[in-house]
Structure 1
Amino acid sequence: MVLMLRNQELLSKIATSNGHGEDSPYFDGWKAYDSDPFHPTQNPEGVIQMGLAENQLCFNLIHEWLLKNPEASICYSTGAAEFRDIAIFQDYHGLPEFREAVAEFMGKVEEERASFDPAWIDESGGATGANEMIAFCLADPGDAFLVPTPYYPGFDRDLRWRTGVKLIPVVCESSNDYQITIEALEAAYETPQEADIKGKGLLITNPSNPLGTIYYKDTLEALVTFTNHNNIHLVCDEIYAATVFSQPEFTSIAEIIEEDKICCNRDLIHIIYSLSKDMGFPGFRVGIVYSYNDAVVSCARKMSSFGLVSSQTQYLIASMLADDEFVDKFIVESRKRLAMRHSFFTQRTLHQVGINCLKSNAGLFVWMDLRRLLKEQTFEAEMVLWRVIINEMKLNVSPGSSFNCSEPGWFRVCFANMDDKTMEIALSRIKTFMLQHREAMVPKKKLCWQTSLRLSFSSRYEDIMKTPGSFMSPHSPIPHTPLVRDQA
C-alpha cells in the first residue's frame, strides 16, 4: 500500500486518475471475457464476446481481394518496388492517394448524395484518436460537449481523459423512443452555463451506438439550426455509416449542408469517420477528421503527427478502396449479411423467447430490453442481472448504465463479431436462460418502436419557431434560416 502511494506521487495526475473509464461495467465485461474466453473445442463453456462492436461478416471478401492483389501490402515481390517510398518519412498530410480513396469511399456510402474533398481529410489513429483530436481543436480544458444519451462509453475516455473536456448528457428516454427533445437540448445547454462552464459543441453518433438507429433529415436540419443559433460546434460521428442495412437510408450531415435548405455556418460542422466498423478494420487504426473549417483542418493536421496511420496501411487501404468493383460489391454484400444476421438474431430468436429490442436498421448490435427481468427498476438491479448474464449465461453483453442510459434494464448486444456457430451457441444460452425465468416475463402493453431518431419539438419551441426573431440570438451567425421560415 505504501509502495503504491509512493508510485502515485511519482506519476502525473493523468496517469493516476480514473479518467480512462476502465472502472465501467463496459470494460469489466471485456475483462471477464479475457479471463475466460469461449473456444468451440478448447473452452466451450467460456464467456462469449458480445460486447465488441466488430464487423467480421465479410472477411472472406477482404481475403479474396488480398489474394488477388498481393502487391498492395508491399511485402511481396510484386510490390517490393514500392517499399522504399512507403517506408521513408511521410508528412502529416498522409498519402494523397489514401485521402482521395477515403473521400471517394465516404461518397459511395452516401450513394453520391454528398461529396467529400480530400483536402479536408485529416488522419488519426482510429476513431479514438480522431475524437480526441477534434476535442483538442475545438475546446479548452473545462469546456463541455453535449452528448445525447445513451452514448458510447469510450467517449468518456476519448474526449475527456487527456483533454480535460467535460461531457454533458442530453437525456433521451425509451418512453419517447429515444428521440431528442428540444427541452432536453435546452436543459443540457443551460447546465454548463449555470456552472460557469462553456458549452462548445454537440456530439451526435449517426447511426447511433448503442441504439442502431439513424437520424432523419429533418432532425439533422434542426440540430444544425440549434447549434448555429447558439454558435456552438456540431460534431457528427458517422463511423457506422455503411452498416445501415434497411430503410430509412443513412443521411450524412454533409448532405444536409450541401442541399442548402438551411443557411448555416459551415465552420461549425465536423465529421468523425473510421474504417473500423464499416470495413471491419479496427486493427488498422484508420481514423478520420473531416472538417469544413480550414483552421480546424490545419490544426488537426499538425496534431496528427502524434497518431498517424502507418504508411503501409495507407497504401494498402488506398489500393483496396480504389478498386470500384470491389468496393461496390463489398458495400452491398455487407449490408445484406448484416440484415440477415440482425433478422435472425432478433425476429427468429430473441422475439420467440419474449425479448424485445429497439427496432433498428443499422450498426453491429441491438438494444435489448430486459426491464421485465429486473427485480426492481433500479440500476443496482440492472447490475445484479448483468452479473448473472456474465457469470451464469457466460455472455459478455453491456449494461445500459455504462452507456449513460437514463433507465435501467437495457443492454447492448453485439451480433456481427462472431461466426454462425458461435452465434447459435450464444442464442441457445439466452433461450435456456429465458425458459428458466419465464415467470418474470409478465405480458405488458406492446411497445411501438420507431426506427430513427427524430427531434421532438415542445409546444414552447413551436411558439418560438413561429416568431423567428425571438428564436435567433443576437450573436447568431445566421439571422433567419429556411427552417425557421418554414415553421412560420
Structure 2
Amino acid sequence: MKKNKTSSSSGGGGGGGGAEAAAAMRVIVPLQGVVQGRGGLVLGSVIPCALLYFIQLYFRSRGGGGGDGREKSPPAAEAEQSSPALQRVHSRTLLFSRGHAPPPHVSSRAAAIAQNCNGPYYAGLERAHDDPYDDVANPDGVIHLALSHNTLVSDLVGEWVADHCAESLFGQELNMSDVAAYQPFDGLMELKMATSRFMSWHTGKGRFFDPENIVLTSGAAPAVEMLVFSLADTGNAFLVPSPYCPDLDEVKWRTGVEFIPVPCRRTDAFAISINALDRAFNQAKNRRQKVRGIIISNPSNPAGVLHSREVLETLLDFATEKNIHIISIESVLASEEFVSMTEVAEDVDKTRVHIVHALSNDLSVPSLATEFIYTCNETVLASVKKLARFSSVSVPTQRVLTSMLSDTKFVGNAVKVTRERIRRMRAGLAHGLRKSGIECVGSDGGLYCWADMSPLIRSYSEKGEIEMFDRLLSVAKINAVPGCSCHSVELGWFGFCFASLREEDIDIVLRRIRTVSDAGRSPR
C-alpha cells in the first residue's frame, strides 16, 4: 500500500515544481503513516502538510521554485539592492559615524623609536630642514652646523663630475647593462679594489688592505649596526667614550644592545681614559651585563680629538685583556698624523678590530652616503656581507666612486686641499669664538669646533644647556649639537660643524653667535 502511494505520487508530476514535490512526498508519506498510527488523523495530516510547506519554501529560497524548474536571474534593480557590497558600505558608514574606531596596532619598537626622536638634536634637524639657510634665497634661515657633512671641496668635485660623470657611469661605449643589472649587495669588486688602493696610500707606509675583507654600506650608522648585530646579542653592551655623535644611539633601535657612555673630561682634553673604561667595564660586570666591545671615533666626534698611536695601543691592550672587540669609525682627512687602528693591530690579534670608514665624506660627496667595513674576522665578514642587502649602495653610485678613486691625481689633490681648508676654517671659527669669550678644545682633528659655552648659560644644569640651545636655534638661527645629546658629563658644551660652510660663511656664523653671547654671562 505504501509502495502504491509512493508510485502514484512520483508519477503525478504535473505543473511547475513537480519534481521537487515528488521528492518531498517520498519522505513525507512514510512519516504520515507513522504519525497516523500514533497520534490520529489530525496530527497525521497537520504535521506532514507543515513539513511540505517548509520544504517547498526552502527550495524556492535556493532558487529551485518556478514554473519550469529553471533558475531565473533576479531583475537588475533587485540584484543591485541585494548586493553584499552595498550592505558592507552601509555597515562601515554606521561604524565610522560613531567616531570610535580604534587605531590599528603598531609595534612597541616603533613607539619607542618615535619617542626617542623628540630630543633637542632631532628638533634642531627638523628646524634646519624646514628653514634652511641660503645666502640668496633665504638669508635669514637656519645655518645647519649639527651634521658632520664635508662639502669643503665641492667646487673641485663639481668640476670632476662635469668632466667624467657620464663616462664613469656607462663607460666609453655607454653600456647600460653594467648599471641596470643586479650586483653583489656587499659592493662591486672594482670599487673594493679602488678603496683598498685609496686606504693603502692615505694611511701611510703602503700597507695592504685586502679588498676581499671590504663590505660597502650606505652610511656609517648602518655599518656600525651590522657590526654590532654580528658581535653582540640582545641585552649585551658596548663601551662608548663620550661625548659621541647622537646618530650612534640609533644603532640600539634594532639590535637591542645597550651603550654605556664612558665620560671623557675637560681636564684630560676629552681624550680617552683607560681608567674610566676599566671602571665602566667592572660596573657592567657587577650588574651581570656582558660587554662585547668598545666603539670609538678617530678623530672623536664631536670633540675632534685625534687619537695618538700610544692611546690606540693602550686601547687594544685593554680590549685584548678583557677579550672584547673594537669598532673604530675613522676618517683620513683629519691630519697627516692620522693612525688607523688596523695599523696598530697588524702584529696582534686582528680578528677583534673592525673599521668603519667614511669614504664619501672623505671625498666631499656626503650625499652619496657610501662607507665601508673592513674586518679580518671571517665569521663577522660573512655576517655583514649577508646583512649588506639591507643597506646596499646603488650601482650608479659605485660606478662614480670607482672612477673618482681611480683618478689618483684628483683624489690626492682633493685630500690635500680638504686638509688645508679644515685647518683654515677651524682656526677662523675658533679665533672668532674666543673673541666672544667661548673657548674650544685645542685640536686640529675632525670637522667640529667643540666649544665651551657654559659661561653663557643661565643655570649650570641640563635645563640651562637646553635653554641655550633654544636661544641659538631661535634667536641666532644656528643649529648646533648640545652636549646633552652627546652624553657629555661636561655641561654647556656645543659642537659646531664647519665642514658644510664656505669660508665667507664663517663671519656670518660668528655674528649670529654674538647675538646670544652679548646678551650677558650667567651670574655664577
TM-score using structure 2 length: 0.77
- 1:104-124: CA deviation from partner (whole Å, max 9, x where unpaired): 112222133533110100111
Cα contact 1:208–1:363 (8 A) shared by 2? yes
Higher relative contact order (CA 8 A, sep 6+): 1
Quick check: 1:350 aligned with 2:433? yes
Cα contact 2:239–2:280 (8 A) shared by 1? yes
Name the CA distance, whole Å, in 1 between partners of 2:462 and 2:428.
30
Q: Which residue of 2 aligns with 1:30?
A: 125
1:378 CA drift (Å): 1.0
1:93 CA drift (Å): 4.2
Q: Which residue of 2 aligns with 1:177?
A: 269
Quick check: 1:425 aligned with 2:508? yes
Q: Which residue of 2 aligns with 1:378?
A: 461
Within the candidate set 329, 334, 342, 1:254 is matched to: 342
What SS does structure 1 have at the residue aligned with 2:176? helix
Compared with structure 1, are the counterparts of its residues 19 and 199 closer, same or farther at alpha carbon in structure 2 (3 Å cutoff)? farther
Within the candidate set 264, 286, 299, 1:194 is matched to: 286
Cα contact 2:459–2:522 (8 A) shared by 1? no
1:281 CA drift (Å): 2.4
Within the candidate set 350, 362, 369, 1:266 is matched to: 350
1:340 CA drift (Å): 1.1
**Residue type at the aligned position of 2:313:** E
Cα contact 1:129–1:287 (8 A) shared by 2? no
Compared with structure 1, are the counterparts of its residues 41 and 333 closer, same or farther at alpha carbon in structure 2 (3 Å cutoff)? closer
Query: How many pairs are equivalent?
Result: 427
Quick check: 1:112 aligned with 2:205? yes
**Residue type at the aligned position of 2:126:** K
- The answer to which of 23-32 and 365-374 deviates more is 23-32
Cα contact 2:483–2:491 (8 A) shared by 1? yes
1:73 CA drift (Å): 4.3
Q: Which residue of 1 aligns with 2:365?
A: 281
**Residue type at the aligned position of 2:248:** F
Within the candidate set 237, 255, 271, 1:163 is matched to: 255
1:367 CA drift (Å): 0.1
Show structure 2 runs of 5+ residues with no match.
1-97
Name the CA distance, whole Å, in 2 between partners of 1:417 and 1:350.
18
- 1:179-209: CA deviation from partner (whole Å, max 9, x where unpaired): 3223211121123222222110011111110
1:394 CA drift (Å): 1.1
Compared with structure 1, are the counterparts of its residues 6 and 101 closer, same or farther at alpha carbon in structure 2 (3 Å cutoff)? farther
Compared with structure 1, are the counterparts of its residues 165 and 79 closer, same or farther at alpha carbon in structure 2 (3 Å cutoff)? farther
- Structure 2 counterparts to residues 2-401 of structure 1, below 5 A: 6-7=102-103, 10-18=105-113, 21-74=116-169, 79=172, 81-112=174-205, 114-157=207-250, 159-238=251-330, 240-242=331-333, 244-245=334-335, 249-258=337-346, 260=347, 264-347=348-431, 349-401=432-484
Compared with structure 1, are the counterparts of its residues 351 and 229 closer, same or farther at alpha carbon in structure 2 (3 Å cutoff)? same
Of Structure 1 and Structure 2, the greater helix share is in: 2
How many percent identity over aligned positions?
Answer: 33
TM-score using structure 1 length: 0.83
Cα contact 1:19–1:161 (8 A) shared by 2? no
What SS does structure 1 have at the residue aligned with 2:239? strand
**Residue type at the aligned position of 1:27:** Y
- 1:301-360: CA deviation from partner (whole Å, max 9, x where unpaired): 11111111111111111111011111111111110111111111112x112222110011
Name the CA distance, whole Å, in 2 between partners of 1:38 and 1:17.
32
Q: Which residue of 2 aligns with 1:472?
A: none
Show structure 1 runs of 5+ residues with no match.
443-488
1:44 CA drift (Å): 2.4
Q: CA RMSD in A?
A: 2.2
Query: After TM superposition, where is structure 1 displaced by more than 4 Å over at least 4 residues in a row?
Result: 2-6, 439-442
Compared with structure 1, are the counterparts of its residues 361 and 4 closer, same or farther at alpha carbon in structure 2 (3 Å cutoff)? farther
**Residue type at the aligned position of 1:190:** N
Cα contact 2:145–2:500 (8 A) shared by 1? yes
**Residue type at the aligned position of 2:157:** I
Compared with structure 1, are the counterparts of its residues 130 and 4 closer, same or farther at alpha carbon in structure 2 (3 Å cutoff)? farther
Name the CA distance, whole Å, in 1 between partners of 2:418 and 2:340.
19
Name the CA distance, whole Å, in 1 between partners of 2:523 and 2:149.
31
What SS does structure 1 have at the residue aligned with 2:345? helix
Compared with structure 1, are the counterparts of its residues 441 and 179 closer, same or farther at alpha carbon in structure 2 (3 Å cutoff)? farther
1:381 CA drift (Å): 0.9
**Residue type at the aligned position of 1:241:** V
Structure number with greater Rg is 2
Name the CA distance, whole Å, in 1 between partners of 2:296 and 2:377.
18
- 1:384-432: CA deviation from partner (whole Å, max 9, x where unpaired): 1111111111111111010000111100011121223433212111234
**Residue type at the aligned position of 2:312:** L
**Residue type at the aligned position of 2:303:** L
What SS does structure 1 have at the residue aligned with 2:384? helix
